[in-house]
Amino acid sequence: MNNLVNFLKQSDIFYQFTPTQLELVANLCREVSFAEGDIIFRENSSSKELYVIVQGEVDILFNSNEMDKKGDTVIANLRRGQSFGEIALVDEGLRSASARAAENDTKLLVIGRDKLVMLCEAYPHLGYRLMYNLAADLAMKIRNSGLRIRDQLLYKPPDKK
């Protein structure tokens, strides 16, 4: 448990959590391993978990098949300490992208939405800190996505006719 608490302490989404708060979160975690190429979840599937990368890398994929007939496109590559699936904490809607293990022996912590939300309700300061960190993480991801879109639009070579 102590190793798990130390790991969570280094993860961005649990920034500035107290040792007690980290232990409470650690009690909700379960570790899952994936081989390279394994699908963690698919686009348009239901969302009920938050994931934190303990080891390895995860590709976030967008199915662009309808637009350009190329299939899945990697839109982000996430590494140790980064989280994904965080929208599940706020919205139980469908996943907007897929996630795939990018390396062998990719280890993830899986935290169920319902238990984490109950923890946030029982400990409002923990809930506030988690939602603040979540908002900061999502803001950074939105900003980076905006920059990537801008690059694609401004620096895309002209179509050949």
CATH number of the CATH domain containing 109: 2.60.120.10
Place 159 in a pLDDT band, splitting at 50, 70 and 90.
low
Beta-sheet strands, E only, within 23-105: 29-34, 39-41, 49-55, 58-63, 72-78, 83-84, 98-101
Half-sphere exposure of 41 (CA within 13 A, CB side): 19
Q: Is 25 exposed, middle or buried, given 0-12, 13-18 or 19+ CB atoms closer than 10 A?
A: buried
- pLDDT tens-digit series, residues 30-50: 999 999 999 999 888 888 899
Q: Please give the residue that has the higher pLDDT: either 40 or 75.
A: 40
Percent of the chain with pLDDT over 70: 91
The verdict on residue 108 lying in a domain is yes
6-9-12-18 Cα dihedral, nearest 10 degrees: 160
State the residue range of the domain holding 46: 2-155
Length of the chain: 161
Average pLDDT of the residues in 42-64? 90
3 is written with which tokens?
């190793």
Is residue 158 over pLDDT 60?
yes
Place 74 in a pLDDT band, splitting at 50, 70 and 90.
confident
Q: Which pLDDT score, from 0 to 100, does residue 49 have?
A: 92
The verdict on residue 160 lying in a domain is no
Q: Taking all residues of the chain, what is their mean pLDDT, rounded to a whole number? A: 87
Average pLDDT of the residues in 90-108? 88
The verdict on residue 98 lying in a domain is yes
Question: Structural domain tally of the chain?
Answer: 1
